[in-house]
Amino acid sequence: MGCSKWRAAFNFGHLKVQSKLSVFFTMILLFTYLFYCLNGYCDSLPRPVYNQQTDPHNKITFNDEQDKSSPERRGAHNASPASVVREQLSDLSRSDAPSNNISIDNTFGSKKFPQAIIIGVKKGGTRALLEFLRIHPDVRAVGAEPHFFDRFYDKGLEWYRNLMPRTLEGQITMEKTPSYFITKEAPRRVYTMSRHTKLIVVVRDPVTRAVSDYTQTLSKSPGLPSFQNLAFRNATTGLIDTSWSAVRIGIYAKHLENWLRYFPLSSFLFVSGERLVTDPAGEMGRVQDFLGLKRVVTDKHFYFNQTKGFPCLKKPEGSSRPRCLGKSKGRLHPQIPSGVLLRLRDFYRPFNLKFYQMTSHDFGWD
């Protein structure tokens, strides 16, 4: 509007009085315009939005801490550089609309149900897997564990969908909640959402998994009875207490049986927690193939920290410290008699063999 007034001022320039009046009015208009601008009333320029943050809970460790905090408070965010750029691009194209009422919220894309879920297992390396996957520009994932199919199912599917990050065409929505794998109702519930859901299970030697699980609990409650006290129902006879969750979770064949009632084997990908450490790029290749993604996450994203003995992610964008797999420092490491571990290994052997048979995959735990 200022422009047309300027032109008017020049057009009528040959008439002195009118000219002076025009300049006067133009100045008034300009000042008014500037005044409103400075007060932020003319928000007609597009503003890229940066409400992506780095989730402080996304430490890459094998310590899949149970997320007790509400998933509503913890946002769903995943900022891979490419997706941020795309978000901004879509934001800019939207602002072409001749409107002064531009929403500053992220309104690109839409929230979809996850097409793929990491359903287990606790202490298997699920957090690491999700962090590795998030490097991929076509993967967007919830930061916290939603626990929808085990704890919050009564909140309804729309509540669940709302937790999801927005995705663009071609992007995959993901979440991970390791307790789904051992939840009786979870297979039916996931099936009800979509029978095409891709299911990823990160498994690890059930004996080392149990010890790792116990170690994590011990670090939170130091007064915990010893591992062998909890593992045996009767130490004399060596009867294993299968009701103890640290033991029960590792009976993979039983839990898988429950899932196979609803989903065919082709719906699953079993990721080796051990190989995720020894060959992260190789295992990530399998995962990307399974998800129908281009192999973007490759060995150039990882380096091996000799001191730590674990692979690390090359500096993720927006993060100053490297993210590595491996145990948290300062965690108590209980001494467990080797006889106890041997007994536990014997206990798991038939279940492991059954699991290899069911998945046609020898994980080499024996």
Ligand X SMILES: *[C@@H]1O[C@H](CO)[C@@H](O)[C@H](O)[C@H]1NC(C)=O
* Choices 72-80, 230-238, 274-282, 292-300 (CB under 6 A): range interacting with ligand X: 230-238
Which x/- pattern, by CB under 6 A, does the window 171-200 give for ligand X? ------------------------------
199 phi and psi angles, rounded to 5 deg: -120, 125
Check if the beta carbon of residue 289 is closer than 8 Å to that of residue 258: no
Query: Distance between CA atoms of 329 and 342, rounded to whole angstroms?
Result: 27
Question: What are the C-alpha distances in Å from 247 to residues 111, 126, 200?
Answer: 37, 18, 21
CB atoms within 10 A of CB 100: 9
Min dist. Cβ of residue 221 to ligand X (A): 24
Residue 136 carries which DSSP code? S
Q: In the Cβ-directed half-sphere of 344, how many Cα atoms lie within 13 Å?
A: 29
Among 39, 221, 237, 338, binds ligand X (CB under 6 A): 237
| Structural contact between residues 284 and 297, judged by C-beta atoms closer than 8 angstroms | yes
Interface with ligand X includes 234 (CB under 6 A)? yes
Is 238 among the residues that bind ligand X (CB under 6 A)?
no
Q: Of 38-46, 158-166, 197-205, 229-237, which part binds ligand X (CB under 6 A)? A: 229-237
**Residue 308 near ligand X by CB under 6 A:** yes
Is residue 123 part of the annotated active site? The answer reads: yes
From the candidates 123, 254, 294, 300, give the one annotated as an active-site residue.
Answer: 123
266 binding ligand X? (CB under 6 A): no
| Residues 6 or more apart whose Cβ sits within 8 Å of residue 141 | 76, 78, 130, 133, 134, 165, 173, 174, 175, 176
User: What token pair was written down for 213?
Assistant: 């699980």
The reply to whether 338 sits near ligand X by the rule CB under 6 A is: no
Instruction: Give yes or no for residue 320 binding ligand X (CB under 6 A).
Output: no
Q: Which residue ranges are tagged as binding site?
A: 123-127, 204, 212, 329-333
User: Under the rule (CB under 6 A), what is the footprint of ligand X?
Assistant: 101, 234, 236-237, 305, 307-308, 312, 322
- Residues classed as catalytic: 123
